[in-house]
Amino acid sequence: MNDVQNKMFLEIRDKELFNQSQKYVLEYLENIFDRNVYPTEKAIENLSIFDEELPTSSTSAKNVIEQLNTYGNPATTATLGGRYFGFVCGSAVPVGLAAKSLGTYWDQAPAMNILSPIGSKLESVVEKWLIDLFNLPKHTSAGFVSGTSTANLCGLAAARYRILQRNNWNINEKGLRNSPKIRIVTSKQAHSTVLKAIGILGLGTENIEWIDVDNQGRIIPELIPELDENTILILQAGNVNSGAFDDFESICEKAKKNNTWIHIDGAFGLWAEAVDKLNYLTKGIENATSWAVDGHKTLNTPYDCGIVLCADQEAMTSALHMSGSYIIESTKRDGMFYTPEMSRRARIIELWSIMKYLGKSGIDEMILTMHQRAKQFAEEIEKIKGFYVENNIVFNQVIVRCDSDKITEQVLSNIQMLRECWLGGSVWFGKKVMRVSICSWATTKNDITKSVKSFEKALKMEITNANTVYKQ
Ligand SMILES: *Cc1c(COP(=O)(O)O)cnc(C)c1O
């Protein structure tokens, strides 16, 4: 046996390495709810320790883990905690973290049933659960991908396949050159990953027929052009700024009659369908053809966990199909026919665990709580002079601004510096705004009040600062 192999056998048998990392994990979890939400300047500076040449020879595993924990841990953002409101992130349900850890050691790749019977089984089970939870057509198929970016890509690839196939054009064989034209109709508020997918698929963003939106960011249904069977209509469940939902009920019915392919980007919002008090928002989604949704946002699975759902299984598997002399197809589920990748990690392990753990009522309660916290945030922040809420709180997003773009920017920067909570900025109908996304199971009423106080402090700092400048 050579030296490195010998060493690795020792490490896997002598449990110290794993005990050490387990100890760090537990310490991390213990502190995550109380620590600064964003890393300190010092912690970020210290990352320079990683700037080194690839070591010439093997080093100690213990030291590798030690370095990672000492310098990596303080430079993490506390997305797992209750006061990280940036982007639309989501925490992780504890059982999901534990299941992920177990799955990590199994190291499964559910490309084919024969490669991972457990991965294949869980994917089949969760596919059914999701269809049931989202009330989608019974014949819908699911692909388990890295996130909604990929799920959007897959849904639109299936749409492209089907529309061209109807025109006697096999996209896989003939490519796009000289192919029949595909129309794309979507909202001016479509998420940038939708545009990215359109670009990657060669459909061209210049070909988009843009539809104007109302003051919440929803498509104005009357402005949708004539639709036909060569059209992909892309709708949104959960606007990334306002959380607003397109009016699926009226739009989808009309589009379906025209045999239009409807794709819904529901990265975080599709989950409204699983909540009794919120599923009025997703009424009509069952009439779409494909849907993209994340586990790692609203459902709080660990990263990376996205799902593409498609009612046209043949289009989806044709768009993503591959074959090879060594591939062993089974009568059970071979996951790779539903995803762009062949090998991928078995993220289904966490997804299954969390759905099994929460059950329907647990999912409902967790998501409704996020909504209530968002409403609480809006109510509390509006009581403070100088803050304005710019959207209707239908789901989990709150858009806040101050009296001017300049003040909003400065206050946001102060909030970020305080590190008591974290959020980012955006532009909403031409105005600079702060966007608060509440999508962690761990956010308590107290977290909201504490964060609102941090906003207040940040505004006071700005006023004091402005006065000082004025006096000088
Ligand atoms: C986050 C998001 C995406 C992209 O999803 P990823 O999981 O980050 O790839 C797409 N659309 C919307 C509306 C989103 O919020």
Residue 410 within any structural domain of the chain: no
58 and 144 together in one domain:
no
- My answer on whether 73 and 203 are in the same domain is no
Three-state DSSP string of 7-23: HHHHHHHCCHHHHHHHH
Q: What CATH number does residue 248 fall under? A: 3.40.640.10
Query: Is 383 contained in some domain?
Result: no
CB 80 within 8 A of CB 442: yes
pTM over 0.75: yes
Domain identity same for 67 and 209: no
Decide if 411 is inside a domain: no
Per-residue pLDDT of the chain (472 residues; tens, 9 = 90+): 689 999 999 999 988 999 999 999 999 999 999 999 999 999 999 999 999 999 999 999 999 999 999 999 999 999 999 999 999 999 999 999 999 999 999 999 999 999 999 999 999 999 999 999 999 999 999 999 999 999 999 999 999 999 999 999 999 999 999 999 999 999 999 999 999 999 999 999 999 999 999 999 999 999 999 999 999 999 999 999 999 999 999 999 989 999 999 999 999 999 999 999 999 999 999 999 999 999 999 999 999 999 999 999 999 999 998 777 777 778 899 999 999 999 999 999 999 999 999 999 999 999 999 999 999 999 999 999 999 999 999 999 999 999 999 999 999 999 999 999 999 999 999 999 999 999 999 999 999 999 999 999 999 999 988 887 665 5
Which of residues 48, 78, 108 is at a domain's end? 78
Residue 382 included in any domain? no
Same domain assignment for residues 191 and 321? yes
What values do phi and psi take at 236, rounded to 5? -135, 130
Task: Looking at the structure, tell me whether residues 110 and 206 fall in a common domain.
Answer: yes
Q: Tell me how far apart the 2 most distant CA atoms of the chain are, in Å.
A: 79
Residue 63 lies in a domain: yes
Q: How far is the CA of 267 from the centre of ligand 1 (A)?
A: 5
Ligand 1 atom at shortest distance from the alpha carbon of 239: 13
Please check whether residues 286 and 331 belong to one and the same domain: yes
Question: Ligand 1 — pocket residues by CB below 6 A?
Answer: 88, 147-149, 191, 193, 238, 240, 265, 267-268, 294, 306
| Domain presence at residue 388 | no
Find the domain containing 315 and state its range.
Answer: 98-355
* Domain total in the chain: 2
Asked whether residue 208 is domain-assigned, the answer is: yes
371 occurs within a structural domain: no
Which residues, at least 6 apart from 128, have a Cβ–Cβ distance to it below 8 Å? none
Minimum CA distance residue for ligand 1 atom 2: 267
Give the residue, out of 87, 149, 271, with the most ligand 1 atoms within 8 A of its beta carbon, to mutate for a pocket test.
149
264 and 349 fall within a common domain: yes
Do strands 431-437 and 424-428 pair parallel, antiparallel, or not at all (unpaired)? antiparallel
Residues 140 and 222 grouped into a single domain: yes
Final residue before a domain boundary, out of 306, 327, 355: 355
Question: Based on the domain organization, do 15 and 122 belong to the same domain?
Answer: no
Mark which of 78, 107, 133 sits at the end of a domain.
78
